[in-house]
Structure 1
């Protein structure tokens, strides 16, 4: 396990107060629950890469290629352990936008015959390792989402329901003035991505969070002028007791997150904050394993800081439960895209 300097961020940003994934939709084009505060700064990816902590630099290099943009938010490549070596990714339902789903009942899509793919707003870091995303767009296909409460909105959606799975193939195009759609998912060409340690193909691509350990969180803020290459949050994983107490403290100061009970089966808290657009971004441990994705956080500047992270164990359990209930014919349609992660 890498030993990381836990005080690095204090050295980079001596007056940093990290904002959080809050609870408001900014506009119809900016589907986010984050309340922006232009006076708050967090480390840019390039600042961490240029820091003096070689272990943190190496960790960031190992995982940053797995996180990209999705609309006004982020998405995280979970695995390439499937029949086609395509990118199975995870993002937040509120990043996709609930109105984008045909039904709120769990459903899957067969990318081999259904073409719901889009290039627009979909980007991942270049396979060369450059930190600049440039103008290259990546084909993005929804694969499955799970049951969503009938009364949920993009702002009230609870972590237990705030995730979906998609697929990235190797189709690319350059950003242009018009929306572009890819061809059907291409299964003959494995996804080319920046993955120097092959974390997306490792025996264990994900893990459970360990209390007291530090986690690194990566996402792509909506503030592209100041964060063209992504941002990083870093903090300690809180215990269940600490998380319950943090919710009580949030409620005491009138923060939205104080009204949402902590659910230990679904989420964990990181003692850090993020900025608008980082929803759907990945949270990793010091071994580079994916622990979950960011979905919510405290939204008052004076509030105790937290990032709510949906656990990969919950995402996997939900996927397996949905998959096991399908007919054999329907299982056959989607198993090639998820086969490598069916056995936890």
Structure 2
């Protein structure tokens, strides 16, 4: 079975933006206008007239940043130190970079897997442009990865890991540049106008039929210098299973990847290379999951595969509960608010 296409390596045909394949004659006020591209620049949404969409975007956009050639999403600051616990995709990290394919964690009190290069989040003052400031990024844990998985074939059920962002920042300069050990003395300063990352419930389970807003940083920096927004309906499991058959008929590789309702959900929208690791949020600003794959054939239905936070959390808790007590003490301070 040939499986290809992650948002990280997705090739985009004939231009950058695509029309939505599912226009409705009874458009509501929150629907993208007919004829509008399915992927929009962040600044265009913020300068638009849909105030509800503007409000949602302002709740969540500070949580999504760059990680390598793609994206990462700050899930929570509810931990012992108030640092940022983020989620990104294994294919962004490059799974060959992990020292083991078995689940593992880093003891950030004594190990330093951190990087500055290519790690950015929006400025804490809410400016749209990321500028030249890099922020420290520390992988924290990943979960079991199949021996035969590659960056392009890894399935959504394995395509995620957790990391930490602290307040260490530098300006871009000669490579390489590395942070010191993770700094826990001060909470992460970030743009989070409604304290989404500190809310009682930072995440939610997707509800079929509702709209999701997905935010990421396409590799096409010329057209999307400050990130991009995809906005579309959350499909039911029945609709997603039906879409798989349509993708297969259209010759899209996503038709060969089985839909797993326990792991993922589909958003009826177009994804662009580099949006992997970016977050999908509901209208309350709660994190629903991270983008990992998308259809790419021009005549195929446009869908984005999103790994559910509820699934990621279950894997995190399972891994944590299986650790010896001495190891738990090294991990728990960073994930305590989401256990």
CA-based RMSD of the aligned residues comes to: 1.1
CA–CA distance in 1 between the matches of 2:268 and 2:237? 12
* Aligned counterpart for 2:4 among listed residues 14, 23, 47: 23
Deviation at 1:23, TM superposition (A): 3.3
Whether 1:306 aligns to 2:282 is no
Measured in 1, the distance between the counterparts of 2:172 and 2:233 equals 38
Q: 1:95 aligns with which of 83, 92, 100?
A: 92
Contact 1:66 1:194 in 2 (8 A): yes
Q: How does 1:243-322 map to 2 (within 5 A)?
A: 243-322=240-319
| Residue number in structure 1 paired with 2:153 | 156
Deviations 1:178-209 (A, max 9, x none): 12000000000110000000000000000000
CA–CA distance in 2 between the matches of 1:105 and 1:295?
Answer: 20
Distance, in Å, in 1 between the alignment partners of 2:251 and 2:82 is 46
Residue matched to 2:320: 323
1:150-299 to 2 correspondence within 5 Å? 150-299=147-296
Q: Give the distance between the partners of 2:289 and 2:11, measured in 1 at CA.
A: 22
Normalising by structure 2, what TM-score? 0.92
In structure 1, how many angstroms separate the alpha carbons of the residues matched to 2:15 and 2:201? Answer: 39
- Among candidates 9, 12, 15, match of residue 36 of structure 1: 12
What is the number of equivalent residue pairs in this alignment?
316
CA distance in structure 1 between the partners assigned to 2:45 and 2:275 by the alignment: 17
Segments of 5+ residues of structure 1 without an aligned counterpart are 1-21, 26-30
Deviation at 1:38, TM superposition (A): 5.2
Query: Counterparts of 2:61 and 2:158 in 1: how far apart (Å)?
Result: 25
Q: Which of 122, 125, 128 matches 2:119?
A: 122
Deviates more, 1:147-156 or 1:176-185: 176-185
- Is the CA contact (8 Å cut-off) linking 2:276 and 2:290 kept in structure 1? yes
Q: Distance in 2 between matches of 1:191 and 1:300?
A: 40
**CA contact under 8 A between 2:73 and 2:88: conserved in structure 1?**
yes
Alpha-carbon distance between aligned partners in 1 of 2:224 and 2:302, rounded to the nearest angstrom: 21
Instruction: Output the CA distance in 2 between the equivalents of 1:309 and 1:106.
Output: 21
CA contact (8 A) 2:5 2:253 kept: no
